[in-house]
C-alpha cells in the first residue's frame, strides 16, 4: 500500500544529530547534505510512484523519496550497492540528506532497493513511462522556478555510455549463446543433442576461442551456424517463449544468411550496428566514433546556458542505444522541453541537424545555433543563400530577401508546397560585383533574375548564418556542456556503468544528472554564504572602528580637560590652617 513520507517535515525534539558538537553541527548544515535535503529530497513528489503499489490495505511501503534519494546518491558518488547501504546505515551526512535526524530509525534491508528498481523497470517496460525521469524533471522545474533561472537559451551534447558487459569477439559471442542454449534444454533434450554440444561445453567460451587460430575462425563460424540453424528450427515448438531461445534466433539471423540454399556467415561489413553485443544486454549496440569502438548506449544532455544565470542546470536526460543519431534525439526531446519551459534557442554541435529537426524547430519557434554543420560544404565559387539577408515570419517562412548588392524584394510561394521564388529586377543587377557568383537565373520573358529555393535550403542557410554569427561573437555557449557531460560520467571512471539494460542505464544516468544539479546549487549557495559572511564581517569591522573612534574621542577629551583643570590649580590640595 502506497503512503507518502512526510515524517521528515516534523523534526524530533531530541535526535542523534542534536548530540553533535556545535561546530560539527554547523558544518553539517553547511554541507552538500543540507542542500540535497532541501533542494532535491524535499521537492520529490512521491505520488508519481503510487502506481507501483497495490491499493489494497496492506503494509505501508518504504518511503519512495528515500529510495529514490538513496539511488541518486549512489549514482552521483559512484558507489556500489554495498557501499550505498553502508553509507545509509552509518553515514550522518547521508542520513541527514534523506531527512533522518536519528540514526536509530528508518532502516530497511538492501533487498528493498532492488525490489523498487525492479518495479520501476517493469513499469517502464510495460507502459513506456520512465518514473525516474518524470521525478527528475519535476524536481528540476521546481529548482528553476525557485532560483528564477532563465531557460530561453539551452545547449545539448551526447556521450557514449558503456554497459556492464564483457566485450566479446564474434566467435566468442556465438559460442556463449550455444552454451546458454544447452543450459536451457531439459534433460531429455540435452541427451538428444549431446554430441552436437560437446565441443562447446569444455570450459568457458573464452577458453574455446583462445585455442582457435585466426585462419580457422571461418570454419568454426560455419559449424556453429549450421548447429544454430538446426536448433532454431527444431526447438521452436517447445522453447519459443524462452528468452534464451529468442537470443539464439536473433543471433542466428544477425550473423548468418542463406544464399542459393547454402548457409554462410555474414561478412563483418554486413553485420548491423544494432546486432546483439552480449546475451546479458539485449539493447546495447555498437558504434564507432572518432576512430574508437563503443559498445553500449548514448546519453543525451540538455542544459540551460543563459549567461545571466548564476548557475546552470540539466533540464533533460535521454538514454538510447548508441547507434541512435543525435538529430533524432534532439527531434524527440525538443517538444518535451518546450512544453515544460520557455526555450527559444538551442545550441548544438554539428551532429544535430536534419530536415526533421528543422521542421520541429519551425513548429516550436526555436532557433538552432550550431558550432559546425554536418554535410557537404557550400561551393566557394557560388554565392549561397546564407549570403543574402532574410526576413521571416514566426513560422520561419521567408517574407523578403535582400541580395548582397542591396536589392530588396518580396518572396512569393512556388508551385509546390514549401517552395519559394524571389524575382530581382535585371536592370538593378547590371554591374553587380557578385554577378559571377550569383545563384539567380535570368528570365527570357521578363527583365528579372529569379532565385528559386526550398524551405529546407533556407533552413540550412539560416543555420549557417547563425553559426557564423556565433563564431564572430566569440561567445561559445556550447563548450561548457562538455564539462557537464564529463561530470555525469566522472563517478564511473571510464564511463562504463555498473549496470546493464537500457532501463537501468537510464536510471543511473538520470541519478548522476540530478546530483550534478544539486552540486551546482550547493556551489552557488556556498558562494552566497561566503559573501554574506564577508558583509557581516565588514559591518562588524566598521562598527568596531566607529566604537574605537568614539572611545578615542572621549579619552582625548577628558585628558585635555584634566590638563586644563590642573593648569588653574583645581587639583592642588587645600591645607587647613
Average pLDDT of the residues in 544-550: 64
Residue carrying C-alpha cell 543574402: 388
Reduce the DSSP state of residue 388 to 3 states and report it: coil
446: cell is: 521578363
| 576 has pLDDT over 70 | no
Q: What is the pLDDT of residue 575?
A: 47
pLDDT of 6: 84
Q: How confident is the model at residue 544 (pLDDT cuts 50, 70, 90)?
A: low
* Residue 447, number of CB atoms within 10 A of its CB: 14
Could you give the C-alpha distances from 409 to 389, 418, 450, in angstroms and in order? 11, 18, 11
Question: What is the percent of the chain where pLDDT is above 70?
Answer: 93
- Whether the CB-CB separation of 555 and 561 falls below 8 Å is answered with no
409 forms beta bridges with 401
In whole angstroms, what is the distance from residue 440 CA to residue 535 CA? Answer: 65
User: Given pLDDT bands bounded at 50, 70 and 90, which one contains residue 577?
Assistant: very low
Quick check: 572 pLDDT over 60?
A: no
The rounded distance, in Å, linking the Cα atoms of 79 and 88 is 12
Range scoring the smallest mean pLDDT among 214-223, 254-263, 358-367, 526-535: 526-535
Q: What's the rounded mean pLDDT across residues 43-57?
A: 91
CB 228 within 8 A of CB 178: yes
Secondary structure letter of residue 104 according to DSSP: T
Q: Which residue has the higher pLDDT, 424 or 8?
A: 424
Measured CA to CA, the distance from residue 272 to residue 283 in angstroms comes to: 13
Instruction: Provide the pLDDT for residue 230.
Output: 96
DSSP characters over 412-466: EE-SSTTEEEEEEEHHHHTT-TTTTT---EE-SSSSEEEEEEEHHHHHHHHHHHH
Per residue in 180-218, pLDDT (tens digit) is: 999 999 999 999 999 999 999 999 999 999 999 989 999
Is the pLDDT at 262 greater than 90, yes or no? yes
Do 414 and 452 touch, CB atoms closer than 8 A?
yes
pLDDT tens digit sequence for 65-108:
999 999 999 999 999 999 999 999 999 999 999 999 888 888 99
Give the angle 309-310-312 at the CA atoms, nearest 5°: 65
Q: Which of 277, 311, 251, 306 is nearest to 165 (CA)?
A: 277
C-alpha cell at 301: 544532455
User: Is the CB of residue 395 less than 8 Å from the CB of residue 362?
Assistant: yes
pLDDT confidence of 19, banded at 50, 70, 90? confident
C-alpha cell at 15: 535526535
How crowded is the C-beta side of 103, counted as CA atoms within 13 Å?
12
3-state secondary structure of 219: helix
pLDDT at position 557 = 66
The H or E element that residue 142 is part of is helix 131-146
Distance CA 248, CA 185 (A): 13
pLDDT at 566: 67
**Average confidence (pLDDT) over 155-168:** 92
Q: Helix, strand, or coil here: 6?
A: coil
Summarize pLDDT for 311-360 with one digit per residue, the tens. Answer: 999 999 999 999 999 999 999 999 999 999 999 999 999 899 999 999 99
pLDDT at residue 488 in the model: 96
CA atoms of 422 and 320, how far apart (whole Å): 43
Across 495-514, average pLDDT: 95
Amino acid at each position: 500500500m502506497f503512503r507518502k513520507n512526510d515524517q521528515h517535515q516534523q523534526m524530533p525534539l531530541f535526535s542523534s544529530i542534536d548530540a553533535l558538537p556545535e561546530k560539527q553541527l554547523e558544518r553539517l548544515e553547511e554541507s552538500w547534505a543540507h542542500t540535497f535535503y532541501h533542494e532535491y529530497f524535499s521537492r520529490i513528489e512521491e505520488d508519481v510512484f503510487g502506481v507501483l503499489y497495490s491499493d489494497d490495505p496492506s503494509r505501508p511501503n518504504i518511503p519512495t523519496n528515500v529510495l529514490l534519494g538513496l539511488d541518486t546518491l549512489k549514482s552521483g558518488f559512484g558507489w556500489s550497492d554495498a557501499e550505498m547501504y553502508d553509507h545509509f546505515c552509518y553515514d550522518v551526512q547521508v542520513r541527514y540528506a534523506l531527512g533522518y535526524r536519528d540514526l536509530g530509525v528508518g532502516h530497511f534491508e538492501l533487498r528493498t532497493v532492488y525490489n523498487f528498481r525492479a518495479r520501476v523497470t517493469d513499469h517502464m517496460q510495460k507502459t513506456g513511462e520512465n518514473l525516474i525521469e518524470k521525478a527528475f524533471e519535476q524536481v528540476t522545474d521546481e529548482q528553476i522556478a525557485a532560483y528564477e533561472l532563465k531557460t530561453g537559451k539551452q545547449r545539448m551534447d551526447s556521450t557514449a555510455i558503456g554497459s556492464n558487459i564483457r566485450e566479446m569477439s564474434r566467435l566468442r559471442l556465438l559460442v556463449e549463446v550455444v552454451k546458454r542454449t544447452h543450459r536451457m534444454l531439459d534433460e531429455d533434450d540435452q541427451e538428444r543433442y549431446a554430441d552436437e554440444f560437446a565441443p562447446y561445453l569444455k570450459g568457458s567460451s573464452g577458453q574455446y576461442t583462445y585455442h582457435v587460430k585466426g585462419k580457422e575462425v571461418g570454419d568454426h563460424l560455419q559449424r556453429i551456424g549450421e548447429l544454430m540453424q538446426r536448433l532454431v528450427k527444431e526447438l521452436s515448438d517447445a522453447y519459443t517463449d524462452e528468452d534464451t531461445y529468442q537470443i539464439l534466433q536473433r543471433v542466428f539471423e544477425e550473423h548468418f544468411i542463406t544464399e542459393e540454399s547454402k548457409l554462410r556467415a555474414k561478412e563483418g561489413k554486413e553485420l548491423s550496428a544494432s546486432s546483439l553485443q552480449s546475451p546479458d544486454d539485449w539493447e546495447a549496440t555498437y558504434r564507432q566514433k572518432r576512430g574508437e569502438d563503443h559498445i553500449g548506449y548514448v546519453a543525451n544532455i540538455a542544459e540551460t546556458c543563459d549567461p545571466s544565470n548564476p548557475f546552470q542546470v540539466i533540464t533533460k536526460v535521454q538514454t538510447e542505444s548508441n547507434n541512435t543519431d543525435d538529430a533524432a534525439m534532439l527531434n524527440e526531446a525538443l517538444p518535451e522541453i518546450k512544453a515544460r519551459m520557455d526555450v527559444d534557442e538551442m545550441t548544438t554541435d554539428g551532429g544535430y541537424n536534419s530536415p526533421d529537426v528543422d521542421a520541429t524547430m519551425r513548429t516550436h519557434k526555436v532557433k538552432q545555433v550550431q558550432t559546425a554543420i554536418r554535410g557537404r560544404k557550400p561551393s566557394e565559387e557560388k554565392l549561397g543563400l546564407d549570403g543574402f539577408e532574410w526576413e521571416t515570419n514566426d513560422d520561419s517562412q521567408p517574407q523578403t530577401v535582400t541580395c548582397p548588392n542591396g536589392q530588396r524584394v518580396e518572396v512569393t510561394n512556388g508551385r509546390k508546397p514549401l517552395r519559394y521564388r524571389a524575382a530581382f529586377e535585371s536592370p538593378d543587377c547590371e554591374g553587380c560585383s557578385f554577378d559571377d557568383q550569383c545563384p539567380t537565373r535570368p528570365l527570357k520573358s521578363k527583365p528579372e533574375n529569379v532565385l528559386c529555393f526550398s524551405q529546407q535550403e533556407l533552413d540550412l542557410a539560416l543555420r549557417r548564418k547563425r553559426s557564423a554569427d556565433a563564431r564572430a561573437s566569440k561567445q561559445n555557449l556550447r563548450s561548457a556542456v562538455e564539462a557537464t557531460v564529463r561530470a555525469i560520467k566522472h563517478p564511473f571512471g571510464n564511463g562504463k556503468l555498473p549496470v546493464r539494460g537500457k532501463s537501468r542505464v537510464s536510471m543511473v544516468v538520470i541519478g548522476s544528472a540530478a546530483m550534478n544539479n544539486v552540486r551546482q546549487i550547493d556551489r552557488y549557495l556556498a558562494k552566497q554564504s561566503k559573501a554574506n559572511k564577508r558583509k557581516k564581517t565588514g559591518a562588524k569591522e566598521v562598527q568596531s572602528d566607529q566604537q574605537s573612534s568614539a572611545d578615542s574621542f572621549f579619552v582625548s577629551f577628558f585628558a585635555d580637560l584634566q590638563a586644563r583643570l590642573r593648569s588653574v590649580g583645581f587639583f592642588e590640595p587645600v591645607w587647613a590652617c
